[in-house]
Amino acid sequence: MSDDLKRQAAAMALSGIKPGLRLGLGTGSTAWHFVDLLGAKVAEGFDCVCVPTSEATARQAEALGIPLSNLETLNRLDITVDGADEIDPALNLIKGGGGALLREKIVAAASDVMIVIADGSKLVDTLGRFPLPIEVNRFGLGATQRTVAEVIAAHGAQGGLKLRETKDGAPFVTDGGHLILDAFFGRISQPEALSRDLLDIAGVVQHGLFIQMCEKAYVAMPDGVRTIQR
């Protein structure tokens, strides 16, 4: 059911995309459906140029014949369509479950509009149930991890901090060559303040809080797709 709902949300987002736009392509299981549906339209002659947020999305788009570019060539995008791990009532997000949060945030920030597609399980009253991904530099990991732990404790984290690993037990490495710390909050009461405090840490590259970046969300529920506007 969840996959069907994700595809419904992706189809609703795609229905509002006009030809000739510069698009950011998200990463993850829901964004995969959007890229797949877009590829079918491109095969029929739909005109667009896209910037992917990960190597995985780039491979998928290339295989479908979707024209790709980058933010050196296109320094501004019209719309980015991406998924989310959590969505609060103000359309603040937690993203990064797939490990692409840095590129996702760069592409979203370079876009006039960010649209999120998801199923209803991603809606929450308060962010924090999903572990917050924090992308960090490999250099000085121990010192960075200690400082991050102090910051999340000061912000009331109910759980700990864990270095993300692959299924083989090796550290998960992002497309940019960084590592990810997952912070288990339970509830994030002050996301703006937490964002500032994390970014003040020298070894932190970026985090998965997307605050006031999303303009619209298409959320697929069992009774249809719900549109949420900020």
Q: Is residue 104 annotated as a catalytic residue, yes or no?
A: yes
Question: What average pLDDT does the segment 76-98 reach?
Answer: 97
* Cβ-proximal residues to 100 (8 Å cutoff; 6+ apart), any chain: 27, 28, 53, 54, 56, 57, 174, 175
Rounded to 5°, angle at Cα 72 from 51 and 56: 30
Give the separation between CA 175 and CA 60, rounded to whole angstroms.
15
pLDDT at 1 over 70: no
Q: Which pTM value belongs to this model?
A: 0.96
Q: What is the pLDDT of residues 77-87, one digit of tens each?
A: 999 999 999 99
Question: 120 among the known binding-site residues?
Answer: no
Average pLDDT over residues 116-124: 95
User: Of the listed 55, 62, 104, 215, which one is catalytic?
Assistant: 104
Cα distances (Å, whole numbers) of residue 157 to 126, 142, 205, 215:
13, 19, 20, 28
174 is in an annotated binding site: no
Mean pLDDT of 157-186: 97
| pLDDT value at residue 129 | 96
Whether residue 159 is annotated as binding a ligand: the answer is no
Q: What is the pLDDT of residue 230?
A: 87
**Per-residue model confidence (pLDDT) at position 3:** 87
pLDDT for position 187: 96
Known binding residue 105? Answer is no
